[in-house]
A and B are shown apart, each in its own frame.
Chain A
């Protein structure tokens, strides 16, 4: 119990949101419903995968502004590859129909290559990550426009959309979305990567003090590159999932996702000054952000105001978090 109280004291935003959720749940009809929960889980799952990717960049004092556009590119490319051969307005009429798993492999390889480009520019050319990924963000968006000719992509194989939006089991009438397990799987993998491997330790060390890490024998360039490559793979996977979940793709997909992912991470306690951040923290941060969106929707807040509220929450959450650390001094 004491632990719960301490947690609430340390995370007022989370506590506040839970209280507001309960309020909304009691005053509106469908908030506490299985379909709403399913929505929340599916939305959170994909954002969580993107946030995991960007978390490594943030922990090493970097950032990745290309995340959202990479998701968009992967979504479009997946869509193009899995378009049914008999679909009337195919993007590339002569392209053979790809197996959905083969499409995943293709986008993951491309995601890894974009990550490799980011990582190499950051670690070898020493261009600040903010600038590097600002550049690649634009490049990737351009590539996506060229690829799609700015046309929306539809007509996916049935199996693809059905699999990703599929559900399993029956817990008191609730069918668990597959995406839940995908997200949990990645969460466990990242928790393992961050806590139980050299790569994870090196990542925290670079975030804590890059020069000290180098002097301690850490190949910082290699570690950083690997972090951006991993991130690229996560964005690609998220894009592949997102296209299927939405049942279509377009070049505007994923726009601004990088900012939501960064916001989720920072709300979840990933420090922008480096060296600090955990996978459960990232999960809580992303969940809080997605919950906030749904709460606003249920409260009937004019969608235009949503952005204002979200922005305020980001700043307040991080300000509170930083205050916590200042006090310790």
Chain B
């Protein structure tokens, strides 16, 4: 009953003291507060509520981490298997991110869901930078965006440069057929001299490297191979199949685009899950810390109110006697 009295008292006093300020300050510097207030401080109820919600948050983030870890395991296998797919193309056609072309298309791969750390911002930052690097007197760059998060960020300042946006990619497992249909759509809707795909390559669970892969259109490949340089050796290759070299080159570049896209999307998905794992991990650790601080505050509040109660009773009794 004494406790109930204490609670009623504190509730009466509550409106007088600004609750949010006192709660916050209670958490930050509980020692000073108890001495300074001099009244029965804030009820333990509020702190208890707060503790319950923080504990729930911790449970949720831990669960999300587990889910992300299991998804990562599944998709990492596929990503590693697909790595063999783009290597022959790089071996054959070389890697030419510095090629100077008129029509650039920047394909930004991002995620649909959030809570995955900084990978989407990194991709968008690199895409914007590539846009800047390739801006020139007669050169233009357009965006093709995969994923909601990239779209949300790029809409803000590059609205007029966007050509195509694709979302809802991860409803089923990522597979080659899906990505090749997407690649086909991009090829049909966009004119390009060079495609630059920006994605986060998955190196390990804690490290994601922003990468850009360049795919050239068949005409540019011919131009570069005639000019010598990296792809200069293409001429020394005999062509089997098809009537003309340019026909086979066209098929080759289309196939290259779809293979490189496939690997890029898989790597980005791996990076997304990995980033989400570490984000959720740090979030649950943070929630744990917060919970510790709240527990301390709760205990102090509780003990302080008991002490105050007791001292009142005792002084009351002493007054009666004496």
- To the question of whether A and B form a pair in one complex, the answer is no
